[in-house]
């Protein structure tokens, strides 16, 4: 697996999101349901996402994942119920585009963690994944996921 790991400055990104906790076994259903709720709300208020959906992982405890799922938006939008407005903060990030099955995501994460250590950086403890397609659209081997890790 060849990964093009990149260091860059990320601009602040407004988002609509839902934050929850789930075991890994329930993650795909939670993600699908959440994206549907947010997308339906955006459609209802006449808005479109500004980019592909994301999931932010605040921990990597596979039995109790603390996750935020959402869509980037162009600017402030009103909240409704569990759908909140927020921002992905600006700052230095390391990222890579991964092509392949979600079940093999440990490999690119380990390569990024190694790169961070070898280059003298520290991670902030939040991991973002941006999904450019879905298992409903393409075979698992063709899934495209951008992994973004903010740095201190």
CA torsion, ordered 46, 47, 53, 59, to nearest 10 deg: -100
- Do residues 17 and 35 touch, judged by C-beta distance below 8 A? no
- Model pLDDT, residue 78: 97
Provide the residue count of the chain. Answer: 152
Domains for the chain: give ranges and CATH numbers: 6-150 (3.20.80.10)
**What are phi and psi for residue 74, nearest 5 degrees?**
-80, -20
- Model pLDDT, residue 75: 96
- Model pLDDT, residue 115: 96
pLDDT score of 60 more than 90: no
- Model pLDDT, residue 3: 76
Residue tagged 């093009």 (tokens): 4
Mean per-residue pLDDT for 74-78?
A: 97
Q: What is the mean pLDDT of the chain?
A: 95
Please, which residues have CB within 8 angstroms of residue 125's CB and are 6 or more apart in sequence?
58, 59
- Model pLDDT, residue 47: 97
Mean per-residue pLDDT for 22-31?
A: 94
């Amino acid at each position: 697996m060849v990964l093009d790991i990149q260091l860059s400055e990320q601009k602040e990104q407004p988002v609509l999101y839902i934050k929850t906790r789930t075991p890994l076994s329930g993650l795909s259903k939670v993600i699908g349901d959440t994206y549907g709720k947010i997308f339906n709300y955006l459609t209802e208020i006449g808005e479109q996402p500004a980019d592909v959906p994301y999931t932010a992982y605040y921990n990597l405890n596979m039995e109790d994942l603390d996750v935020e799922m959402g869509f980037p938006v162009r600017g402030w939008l009103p909240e409704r119920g569990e759908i909140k407005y927020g921002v992905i903060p600006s700052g230095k990030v390391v990222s890579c585009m991964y092509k392949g099955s979600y079940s093999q995501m440990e490999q690119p994460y380990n390569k990024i963690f190694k790169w961070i250590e070898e280059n003298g950086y520290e991670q902030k403890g939040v991991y973002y994944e941006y999904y450019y397609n879905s298992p409903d659209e393409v075979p698992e081997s063709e899934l495209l996921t951008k992994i973004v890790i903010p740095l201190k």
